[in-house]
Structure 1
């Protein structure tokens, strides 16, 4: 791929790994790295996303955009174990970061991508957002916000395909990665399934490299397997 690559959440574990891997590979003319702590780009602040888009719009056009952000726990709040723990403010916060933020990135960045040739817009989702795969319950806000993100991806993919029939808009499940997001909840990870951020980033880029136009709108895991809706 050529043009520029864009990574949101570049100060996080997976986002930082993606930025480093993209820079090391040297396949793009420019790698733009945005984050709340690094550039003040906050996915709950649309104006900051628009500011980031204005920077990237100067060229070259992005052919890869990855939204590597997510919220699982914050300020003592975390995944709900039962319905009695449901809190409207925490639910809204989950949706603001996990669903609405990536959708706003798409709003401002998909129009910057080429109308011809292969382009990829990818967001980090989670297998736990699969409705078909939900066998345990719990984690209401995180599950629901990621399921909603997957629907956003599907809907964005349909619209973007009308603009560029070779565009690919996908959700990616990185697996369990050794980051601050997963640290309190990774005790049940099976041997060999806890990845360091650098390895996770390379695995995700390998999946991205393998994607074809008919894959748009789908959800893929770190090993390339499609995740059920």
Structure 2
């Protein structure tokens, strides 16, 4: 059985590949990124997640090497310099901002799902797990703001639920879930790390380890849900 990590050039994505290699459960670990680079021991595949033909080619290459029983998506965007920052008010919303955030956080995982889910085994346990965020929970939202980012993650959570229902019809052991990695010491969280309580800022390696522990403990009854790094259920 093999594993695929989309977004393997990012902090969490690369750490996930490293952790999978260290655990030694999978025969081949594929790392998919725009550069095609992957940690030593992994097989690198080149694909921009918003280029559908490239995603399809990467999915086909990974599946042709054997059963893919784990596919993780570590792709996302929260900010990009001064031109793209989380909105503090509805007055700060822009079409450009929404389009850029939705492209990375919702459309890219959806395209990956389109070309990976049908290539996962038709029987037996497998896991499809894009990284989501607690701020995508509608019921947990107490602060407001960050409109585009929250909306994209809420939309991703809905997609995961949809995929779980659809895939469960043909494979009762399939698992589609969203994972919240916590606040990780990467470029995505860097501008906001000063507000993180002591002990709650994880290194990429710590987060990856936690996430894989959660994945290992999942059952088909968990499919369609969102879990945090500690395995705790996050309300929709």
Same fold (TM over 0.5): yes
Q: Does 1:47 align with 2:53?
A: yes
Aligned twin of 2:11: 13
Report the more deviating stretch, 160-169 or 34-43.
34-43
Contact 1:29/1:60, CA 8 A, preserved across alignment: no
Unaligned runs of 5+ in 1: none
- 1:125-171: CA deviation from partner (whole Å, max 9, x where unpaired): 00000001111110000000000000000001100101210000000
Contact 2:56/2:115, CA 8 A, preserved across alignment: yes
- The residue matched to 1:220 in structure 2 has which SS? strand
Unaligned runs of 5+ in 2: 37-44
Aligned twin of 2:40: none
Matches within 5 A, 1:1-229: 3-38=1-36, 39-76=45-82, 77-229=84-236
- 1:79-120: CA deviation from partner (whole Å, max 9, x where unpaired): 011111110011011111101110111110011111111100
CA positional deviation for 1:196? 0.2
Q: Distance in 1 between matches of 2:141 and 2:47?
A: 33
Q: Distance in 2 between matches of 1:9 and 1:23?
A: 16
- The residue matched to 1:159 in structure 2 has which SS? helix
Q: Which runs of 4+ in 1 moved over 2 A?
A: 37-40
TM-score calculated relative to the size of structure 2: 0.94
Which structure exhibits the higher relative contact order, with contacts defined as CA atoms closer than 8 Å and separated by 6 or more residues? 1
Aligned length: 227
CA positional deviation for 1:225? 0.3
State the Cα RMSD in Å: 0.9
